[in-house]
């Protein structure tokens, strides 16, 4: 399957992109897709939800006194 390359001036593109033929998704950062050369199929995902990771940092730390002695 032939895939058209991104425009030569698109080196600042970052985001998630979907292939028109296979409908699979890949993550692009600074115009490049990062993957292991012999495992490119692992970089393509069936749904965008497989690629998104959500984390929360509250920066609230609480100290609880250990009343049991261990």
DSSP SS3 for 56: coil
Residues 1-22: tens digit of each pLDDT: 455 666 666 667 788 999 999 9
In whole angstroms, what is the distance from residue 61 CA to residue 38 CA?
43
* Average pLDDT, integer, range 47-67: 78
Q: State which residues form the domain around 21.
A: 1-70
Question: Token pair of 23, please?
Answer: 């409908």
Domain total for the chain?
Answer: 1
pLDDT of residue 1: 46
């Amino acid at each position: 399957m032939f895939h058209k390359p991104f425009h030569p001036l698109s080196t600042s593109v970052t985001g998630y992109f979907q292939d028109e033929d296979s409908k699979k998704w890949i993550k692009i950062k600074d115009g490049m897709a990062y993957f292991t050369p012999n495992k490119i199929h692992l970089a393509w995902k069936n749904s965008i939800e497989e690629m998104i990771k959500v984390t929360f940092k509250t920066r609230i730390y609480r100290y609880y006194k250990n009343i049991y002695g261990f």
